Amino acid sequence: MKNLKKQDRKIYNAIQGELKRQQEGMELIASENYVSEAVLEALGSIFTNKYSEGYPGRRYYGGQEYTDVIESLAISRAKKLFRADHINVQPHSGAPANMIVYSALLEPGDKVLGMDLSHGGHLTHGHPVTLPAKIYKFIRYKTGRDGKIDYKELEKVAKKIKPKIILAGFSSYTRQLDYKKFSSIAKKVGAISMIDIAHIAGLIAGRAISNPVPYFDIVTTTTHKTLRGPRGGMIMCRKKFAKAIDKSVFPGFQGGPHMNNIAAKAVMLEEAL
């Protein structure tokens, strides 16, 4: 980092201080991880210079032969790892990925049944302070006294409110979800089944817990946390939702993807295979 040290000593010193903090401390924050040197190299690569609006083979700028290579590799590796029909690797993080899905599949005022934040859910699953809660109507299910999801109660609520999306996933729920029950409840009420696996994606990739992808219409995740990649997001879906999801990512919600980040995602995915 000799160039940075020469150009901006304050930033250089802050980076060195953070490096020392991470190397000598014990991090107990579950949503953080340590990426490999290879991921860091890809993240800091020349691809940060490139604008690449669109998708492989369908870009709006020239000079895309290598950006198409890295994005195609990231997609194919993610498909192999998670056994998904379709994957979009462009989302900048997990919260935007969820918002992109809502925008693709919902109309303002549509109902979403998601887990309450205080019972293990996530802010983007309908907490009143968030933007999605101002656009869509979120009804939040809770856990029972034993700390577990009551699937009978969940089905009862779903039948009553008829949500457009039933959302599984969490930020602090410690139980294994019953994917089949979530999927079954969604089918019974004609809802789209969605799961946010941001906190458990690495455990799924490592086969420590079962893979929810075959059971859900939509799957969102971050690429950091337990996946040990760069800060970013991905959206997986069944083929029938692919066009709507891709259109919602670009041009609906984002402009040019961060190609250096996608390169780092591709490296992380290769490491996980």
Q: Which residue has the higher pLDDT, 191 or 148?
A: 191
Single-letter code of the amino acid located at 250 = F
Rounded to whole angstroms, what are the CA distances from 267 to 92, 133, 204, 270?
A: 16, 35, 18, 5
53 in Cβ contact with 259 (< 8 Å): no
Residues marked active site are found at 51, 53, 196, 222, 225, 231
Residues 3 and 115 in one domain: no
Mean pLDDT computed over 213-227? 96
Residues 134 and 76 in one domain: yes
Residue 29 has pLDDT above 70, yes or no: yes
Residues 16 and 53 in one domain: no
Residues 75 and 201 in one domain: yes
State the CATH number of the domain containing residue 143: 3.40.640.10
Residues 15 and 85 in one domain: no
In a domain, 90, yes or no: yes
Percent of all residues in the chain with a pLDDT value above 70, rounded to a whole number: 98
Query: Element (H or E) spanning 150, and its range?
Result: none
Residues 24 and 47 in one domain: no
In a domain, 106, yes or no: yes
Mean pLDDT computed over 115-142? 81
Mean pLDDT, rounded, of the chain = 94
pLDDT at 120: 64
Mean pLDDT computed over 260-265? 99
In a domain, 181, yes or no: yes
Residues 20 and 51 in one domain: no
Range of the domain at 15: 1-28
Residues 16 and 75 in one domain: no
Number of structural domains in the chain: 2
Q: Which residue has the higher pLDDT, 120 or 222?
A: 222
pLDDT at 100: 97
Residues 221 and 103 in one domain: yes
Residues 22 and 123 in one domain: no
Residues 19 and 51 in one domain: no
- pTM score: 0.94
For residue range 132-188, list pLDDT tens digits in order.
889 999 998 888 888 888 899 999 999 999 999 999 988 777 788 899 999 999 999
Rounded to whole angstroms, what are the CA distances from 192 to 9, 105, 112, 166, 169?
A: 51, 9, 10, 6, 14
Residues 224 and 118 in one domain: yes
